[in-house]
Amino acid sequence: MITAFLALLVYGLAGLLAARRLQAPPYERWLPALALALHGWALSRHVLHGGAITLGINEALSLFAWQSALLLWVLCFREPLRTMGAAVYPAAGVAAIIASLWPTPVSDIPIADWKVRSHILLSLFSAGLLTLAAVHAGLLAAQDRLLRGHRMTQLTRALPPVQTMERLLFQLIGIGFFLLSLTLLSGLWFIRDWLAQHLAHKTVLSITAWLIFGVLLWGRLRYGWRGRTAIRWTLAGYATLVLAYFGSKLVLEQILGKHWS
């Protein structure tokens, strides 16, 4: 519990520093690393149990937020994505607290099989990159609105130019789409009976999200989609992906008292 609260505090400080338009101080780059380590340690005590993992909805949310923050921290060494930390890092801190305060024990998922480990890693990284793409799309939407209204605020000064923002958005979507494709393919290893395993709704929604992102990338290449069109498609695809995982999981665990198998 204490570890999760410390993670929240460090995440919050990292988020505040990321929101500033001033040049980042040297220590700012390593604050998220400290928060990630604290968050990871707190999360491992709830999730890892020998050769299995426990993933209730709160643990899944915390793990989802942790790896999104991890990917952002790594990408910031190469790309100008620092401002996204103002949203991603505090959200990860809140998710860490939720998982610590309200654990949701469900049946363990064995991870001894390399196929299971591969599927979990692919799903986490694809979801993490597409989460960052959704946050990026939100910032791009805010930037577009402010620029159209000829308003120069701290946010518009802190963000890169619109062309750079759009380039980064499609890079995130492209890599995330590739990993999501691998995730869906690897998931075929585990499907024996969609209805018995309670996977029908999750699979249909995941494929729908994959199609939305695929159409967006095709529209970008074929028709040069950008701006508000790209933002709408990105957010629609991400909302469908979130519904596929958390919507299905919420209904199964909290309403039906079941879980994926």
Render pLDDT for 69-111 as a digit per residue (tens, 0 to 9).
Answer: 999 999 988 888 888 999 999 999 999 999 998 887 655 565 5
- What is the phi/psi pair of residue 52, to 5°? -140, 165
- Give the pLDDT mean for 133-140: 94
CB contact set of 56 (below 8 Å; sequence gap of 6+): 103, 104, 105, 106, 253
d(CA 97, CA 101): 6
What share of the chain has pLDDT > 90, as a percent?
Answer: 46
Q: What is each CA distance from 63 to 45, 46, 118, 168, in whole angstroms?
A: 12, 10, 16, 24
**Mean pLDDT estimate for the chain:** 83
- Between 34 and 21, the more confident residue is 34
Give the residue from 45, 89, 82, 60 showing the smallest Cα distance to 159.
82
pLDDT tens for residues 155-172?
Answer: 777 788 889 999 999 999
Name residue, tokens 């299905």: 248
Contact 217, 177 (CB under 8 A): yes
